[in-house]
Amino acid sequence: MEVRELVKRYPKAQTDAVDRLTFAVASGEIFGLLGPNGAGKSTTIGILTTRVRPTAGQALIANVDVMVAPRTVRSLLGVVPQRNNLDRSLSVRQNLLFHAAYHGVPKAVRTRRAEALLEQFALTDRANEKPELFSGGQNQRMMIARALMHEPRVLFLDEPSTGLDPAARLFVWDRIRELRAAGVTIVLTTHDMDEAAALADRVGIVDSGRLLALDTPAALVRGLTTGASLQIVVELADELALAELLGRLGTLAGVQRCEQVGTEAAGHTIRLYLTGEAAAMVAPVGAAVAEVGARLIGVQICEASLEDVFIDLTGRRLR
């Protein structure tokens, strides 16, 4: 799957929803597309799934241009939307069977495949019920099973575990990993940084329609200018000691900067932003605290996460 210099400007819009976006996803890879609301994720997925017409650029699924051969592309991809779009007039089994029939899967094949997927997604018991009263988790399982009925080469999942309970979420994650093992390319859009870090081989972070970063989750975290941090709570004799302590901590090797982030009855909370690993800094920091005659009463190691990368790139502004 590949997009080249992709541009989308909606009629009457002042700016491009997608602005010269270029990236490629390897076959059998889980790719996480991250970005704040309105960043252009949905538009990009819309173009790739033939539902949005690009203004310029090219989008390819398995080397087929989505603009040139949309029907071929639709037969190659499966889509699991964020919003429930199941056919409420049909039973669970019929939802799967009709989906396959729309894709021209022969009757014997689709019947066999539906039974296997119902079993795999723990839906066999309720296969003859209509999905009206199903929980979010059941709907989600059903939509994934439905998308797999025509054996797509590329699967698009939009916020696959939003609103799911922990068990359902782990179940969905396991199925996604199984699909990768079976060679299916997976494009995941999500706000959930833990999900992206847990599942994605690589993530692309977009904002204002542009790609800001693209790498493995681990490499993105490593690349942060603000690495790990250490948060300590100290009991001090007086304010003078605090200034002295902050001065000493700030000059320690491996500390980028430090600041007081809070004062409670128990003591003062200080955060140290580090250039290296946090665990190695606990001893020197403890020694520095002792030197000014203060008492260390709490230490917390804060490793940087994908969320820090995300906030670092896209900011804290609400949209």
Q: Residue 87, interface with another protein (CB under 8 A)?
A: yes
Q: Residue 183, interface with another protein (CB under 8 A)?
A: no
| CA 47 to each of CA 43, 70, 118, 273: distance values in angstroms, whole numbers, following the listed order | 6, 10, 30, 41
Q: Could you give the string, one character per residue 112-151, with x where binding to another protein holds by CB under 8 A and - elsewhere?
A: ----------------------------------x-----
Nearer to another protein, 32 or 54 (CB): 54
Nearer to another protein, 188 or 281 (CB): 188
CB of 234 to another protein, least distance (A): 56
Nearer to another protein, 75 or 162 (CB): 75
CB of 59 to another protein, least distance (A): 14
Q: Residue 92, interface with another protein (CB under 8 A)?
A: no
Q: Of the candidates 32, 35, 48, 74, which one interacts with another protein according to CB under 8 A?
A: 74
Nearer to another protein, 99 or 202 (CB): 99
Pair 23, 47: CB distance under 8 Å: no
* Piece of the chain touching another protein by CB under 8 A; list 27-35, 97-105, 254-262, 283-291: 97-105
Nearer to another protein, 107 or 257 (CB): 107
Q: Residue 153, interface with another protein (CB under 8 A)?
A: no
At CA 78, angle to CA 75 and CA 84, rounded to 5? 130
Q: Position 256: which residue type?
A: Q
Q: Of the candidates 7, 60, 67, 101, which one interacts with another protein according to CB under 8 A?
A: 101
**Exposure on the CB side of residue 88, measured as CA atoms within 13 A:** 5
Q: Of the candidates 24, 38, 65, 102, which one interacts with another protein according to CB under 8 A?
A: 102
Q: Could you give the string, one character per residue 36-65, with x where binding to another protein holds by CB under 8 A and - elsewhere?
A: -------x--x--xxxxx------------
**CA 57/CA 65 separation, integer angstroms:** 11
Segment 258 to 317, residues that bind another protein, using CB under 8 A: none
Q: Of the candidates 5, 38, 85, 266, which one interacts with another protein according to CB under 8 A?
A: 85
Which candidate, 99, 101, 105, 104, places its Cα nearest to that of 86? Answer: 99
Nearer to another protein, 103 or 126 (CB): 103
Q: Position 15: which residue type?
A: T
* Residue 36 in tokens: 């704040």
Cβ partners under 8 Å of residue 297, min gap 6: 233, 234, 235, 266, 267
CB of 74 to another protein, least distance (A): 5
Segment 1 to 20, residues that bind another protein, using CB under 8 A: 10
Query: Which residues sit at the interface with another protein, rule CB under 8 A?
Result: 10, 43, 46, 49-53, 71-72, 74-75, 77, 79, 81, 83-90, 94, 98-99, 101-104, 146
